[in-house]
Structure 1
Amino acid sequence: MSDDLQVERSGSVATLTLNRPESRNAIRLEMYRDLPAILRGIDEDPLVKVLVVRGAGTKAFAAGADISEFRDVRADAESARSYNEQVAAAEHALEDMAKPTVAMVHGYCVGGGCGLALACDLRFCDTAARFAITPAKLGLVYSLESTRRLVDLVGPAQAKWILFSGGQVDAGHALRTGLADVVAEPDELAEQTYGFAELVGTRAQFSVRAAKEIVRRIVAGQRADDEETTDLRNSSFDTEDYAEGVRAFLEKRPPRFTWS
């Protein structure tokens, strides 16, 4: 794994850091290539319940893809196709994680950085955060799947505004439109982000991951239970966490969930 990506775990919360602060965490192709395996390892780690994704330093989550590479890695249609496939695979790996994911956004979250943040379940940002998606400034076309994630959050009109203009969206605008879920003062962002992640880590993980899967299906267009969602719901009654949740409620104490 490249030093440009760092993984740490504290309790039940893992942190994936984009570690290129000297370039505002611009994302290199190698980083995109490494992400699926890294994320798979986090998803398979029974000690991890929640993932926080962040950028190193104080200036940016990520200022986008590393454009200094473009003459080599996106020199023509063929190389651009390969590059785009690597980006899509990385974003898919993040979006498809079974465990909850939170992007902790401080400062700039632009282009490819915004793409990774959109692939997370939630986005906590500070008041200095600035979001932007900039294909219109580079003569590029944003992918359908990345555009779909944006539309799912902010709706079609706001998505058009963001994509047509390539302009920056400040934290207040992001919160109003659904691009951000929480806005905190810069010195309180980590506390709020990790406080939420640790709280989710205390909940019944079967319930949390089932909720994530059911929301995913609803966003994809499912409107009624099928055999899979019915089985998912009914199987919760056979888990030790369900028995523990009932015991804890009756005994008026916090539950101690063990399913991972």
Structure 2
Amino acid sequence: MSNNLYVEKNGAIATLIFNRAEKKNSFSLAMFKQLGELLEDLESDQQIKVLILKGVDETAFSSGADISEFLENRFSAQKAKDYNDATLESIEKLYRFPKPTIALIKTLAIGGGLELANSCDFRFATTGSKLGITAANIGIIYNLTSTKRLVNLIGPSKAKELLYTAKLIRAEEGKEIGLIDYVYSMEEIEVKCLEFAGHIIRKSSVANNGIKQVIQSIIDGENAETKEIEQLILDSFSSDDYKEGIAAFLEKRKPNFS
């Protein structure tokens, strides 16, 4: 398996690293497929409570899909469909990943790179990082599911502006419009991101993973609890986390969720 993507684990925090700095961490088709495989492994690892995605160094988060492959993999309608199906399947796995996810963006996230970041629950970016979707520069219509995520984050008007103009904006503007959650200097972003992740992992993963599923159901258009969501909520009352949370409250101590 290629080392263009690899995972580091530190306790309950996993970090998925994009390791193709010489190409600004652009994603080959093989990398998109590997991403899906790595996410499946991380989903089944019960020790992991938070997933961070980042570039290997300060060069980039990701500049998106590797355009040098397009003549081979994406230069006809059928080839484009096969390529899109494979890449969007992995991006959807990230979007539907059942545990909290954080995109740690350094320097730039463009095209498919921003698409990956938008599939995470939170986006941290370094000061001055460049962000954008540049499909209009190469004559591609941006796919519906990723457009919907962009609209959910910044609204239809701003989404149209970014997509029509293919312009790049700075992280500071991204924060103003809701695309970015936190902006920090290059020197402090890793620490701040890990502090944020550390706060999450000290809480109940039963509660956090469950509420992620509830919020996703709302985003997907549900206005009332489905049987699945209702059962998910009820099951939490018989979980070990619930027992520990109640015991900690009664004993006036901080809970220790395993």
Structure 1 residue 24, shift from structure 2 partner = 0.9
Amino acid in structure 1 at the alignment position of 2:168:
Q
Q: Secondary structure of the residue that 1:8 maps to in structure 2?
A: strand
Q: Residues 213-238 of structure 1: CA distance to partner in whole angstroms, max 9, x if unpaired?
A: 00001111111223222222222111
Indicate if the aligned counterparts of 1:175 and 1:181 stay in contact, CA closer than 8 A.
yes
- 1:29 is matched with which residue? 29
RMSD: 1.0
Report the TM-score, using the length of structure 1 for normalisation: 0.96
- 1:84 is matched with which residue? 84
Q: Secondary structure of the residue that 1:211 maps to in structure 2?
A: helix
- Pairwise mapping of residues 46-65 of structure 1 onto structure 2 (< 5 A)? 46-65=46-65
Indicate if the aligned counterparts of 2:61 and 2:105 stay in contact, CA closer than 8 A.
yes
**Is 1:233 the equivalent of 2:200?**
no
Indicate if the aligned counterparts of 1:53 and 1:103 stay in contact, CA closer than 8 A.
yes
> Can you give the 5+ residue segments of structure 2 that lack an aligned partner in the other structure?
none
Structure 1 residue 144, shift from structure 2 partner = 0.2
- 2:182 is matched with which residue? 182
Deviating above 6 A after TM superposition, structure 1's stretches of 4 or more consecutive aligned residues are none
Amino acid in structure 2 at the alignment position of 1:68:
S
**Is 1:194 the equivalent of 2:188?**
no
Q: Secondary structure of the residue that 2:188 maps to in structure 1?
A: helix
Indicate if the aligned counterparts of 1:61 and 1:113 stay in contact, CA closer than 8 A.
yes
- Pairwise mapping of residues 45-124 of structure 1 onto structure 2 (< 5 A)? 45-124=45-124
Indicate if the aligned counterparts of 1:106 and 1:128 stay in contact, CA closer than 8 A.
no
Q: Secondary structure of the residue that 2:237 maps to in structure 1?
A: helix
Amino acid in structure 1 at the alignment position of 2:143:
S
- 1:161 is matched with which residue? 161
**Stretch moving more, 120-129 or 222-231:** 222-231
- 1:206 is matched with which residue? 206
Residues in 2 aligned to 1:249 and 1:52: alpha-carbon distance in whole angstroms: 30
Amino acid in structure 2 at the alignment position of 1:15:
T
Structure 1 residue 183, shift from structure 2 partner = 1.0
Amino acid in structure 2 at the alignment position of 1:111:
G
Residues in 1 aligned to 2:137 and 2:164: alpha-carbon distance in whole angstroms: 9
Report the TM-score, using the length of structure 2 for normalisation: 0.97
Indicate if the aligned counterparts of 1:105 and 1:123 stay in contact, CA closer than 8 A.
yes
Residues in 2 aligned to 1:187 and 1:241: alpha-carbon distance in whole angstroms: 36
Indicate if the aligned counterparts of 1:128 and 1:186 stay in contact, CA closer than 8 A.
no
Summarize the Cα distance change of 1:69–1:226 in structure 2 as closer, same or farther, 3 Å threshold.
closer
Q: Secondary structure of the residue that 1:62 maps to in structure 2?
A: coil
- 2:18 is matched with which residue? 18
Number of residue-to-residue matches in the alignment: 258
> Can you give the 5+ residue segments of structure 1 that lack an aligned partner in the other structure?
none
